[in-house]
Amino acid sequence: MSAVKAPPAFAIAFSVAFAVLYLLAVEYNWALFTYHPALEEFGWLVEKTKDGPAMYWYGWLASAAIGATVIAALISWLPNAITERIGPLWSWLIPCLVMVNFAYLLRKFFLH
């Protein structure tokens, strides 16, 4: 049995792309769909509240997941000489930086 020398480019690219796209989806409200829990119905893209609060979180996750899948698939088709340069460091460094950014964005909820 032999060890894999190069990290899987798809997994690294997906984790980086998902974190960045999720941050952008939340910041710019790029929801693929909106869920209205009081009415128990979904609506395409961003909709205004109907009866009670609207939930965009599911739509943000879907938008980030689809975008990250497309980006990771495109990167995984690149030649090995290029994808070998993508180290596993990025798969945790960028998501950690995105979490720090979210902590900054949500600071008003924790500090009075």
**Cβ-contact 86, 14 below 8 angstroms:** no
CA distance 7 to 84: 7
Give this prediction's pTM: 0.81
Local structure of 85: helix, strand or coil? coil
Closest CA to 90 of 18, 15, 25: 15
Tens of each residue's pLDDT in the chain, 112 residues: 444 444 588 888 999 999 999 999 999 999 999 988 888 788 888 878 878 888 888 899 999 999 999 999 898 888 887 777 777 888 889 999 999 999 998 888 887 6
pLDDT value for 6: 46
CA distance 105 to 95: 15
